[in-house]
Structure 1
Amino acid sequence: MNSWKSDRIGSAERDENPTVMVKMKSGFAVIGDNQFLPGYCVLLGYPRASSLNELSLEERTQYLTDMTLIGDAIIKACNPLRINYSILMNLDHYLHAHIEARYDWEPEENKCRPSYFYPKEQRYGSQYEYSDEKYGDLKTNITENLLKLMKEIDY
């Protein structure tokens, strides 16, 4: 495992996390480690919290707003059918939200199910592993859209 993956938030703070797109008010917008569903992003809550419920109402509102701004940027970059949002924290016990584009080209039986219903070996295939060479243009496109949206709302 890359050393930055063992402390995703700390590595983002130290500018060592290559997946970081933008530092937002509530955390770091990052492109996902795998791009099985192109445009997959995560919002890493910052400062660190164990759950959404630890945040004040104002902080929660900001976090959820930031999460949807990332979704808007993915829509502009990838033109998906819809965006799925999930905050699970079952494996990693720090606040983070998964923002996933869903597509018309997905098999019919998977369109109405969470992405984790896809076989693990399919979702995490090495061909989908993030690298700047393979997915740098996508990361740049989403980042530029996110920055533009933030500017439009005087973020």
Structure 2
Amino acid sequence: MIEVVELKTSTLYLNKDQTHLGRCILAFHTHKKELFQLSNIELHSFMEELSKVAKALQEAFNPQKINYAIYGDLVSHLHFHIVPKYENGRDWGEAFVNAPIQKKFVIESEYHQLIEKIKVQLEKEEEITW
């Protein structure tokens, strides 16, 4: 993962596997395993950040749908997978494969371009500061 930006209650990362263009992970700052462990204020803030990130991904990459997933079996730190999905693309109409056999990695400069596209959209959102 590559860090995109630190938010109030979480950190946004770009997934190195770009099988689904724009795939990111939003990780909660403090160590929690489950959503129910968050206070109401933490939960509200985390969900607000998730929504803003999803909107930024929608604006940056124009997917037909965004999938969200929380696993944590192997990484027991609360985080969301935010996965843009594209019609006629990989896994369309099904749950995305978290660890596909064939992954899509891009060159370093492309990761930076993807991050910049996301940041430009996040900057349009109120209350997000770097």
Question: TM-score w.r.t. structure 1 length?
Answer: 0.75
Partner residue, 1:104:
87
Aligned length: 128
Question: TM-score w.r.t. structure 2 length?
Answer: 0.88
CA RMSD for the aligned pairs? 1.9
Partner residue, 1:116:
97
Work out whether 1:139 is the aligned partner of 2:122.
Answer: no
The structure-2 alpha-carbon separation of the partners of 1:131 and 1:79, relative to structure 1 and needing over 3 Å to count, comes to same
Cα distance, 1:131 vs. partner? 4.8
Work out whether 1:54 is the aligned partner of 2:37.
Answer: yes
Partner residue, 2:21:
38
Percentage of pairs with the same residue: 23
Structure with the larger helix share: 1
Cα distance, 1:130 vs. partner? 5.4
Q: Which moved more, 1:53-62 or 1:130-139?
A: 130-139
Q: Aligned with 1:120: secondary structure?
A: coil
Work out whether 1:148 is the aligned partner of 2:124.
Answer: yes
Cα distance, 1:48 vs. partner? 2.0
- Which stretches in structure 1 are left out of the alignment for 5+ residues? 6-18
CA-to-aligned-CA distance 1:20-43 (integer Å, 9 cap, x gap):
111111110111121110000110
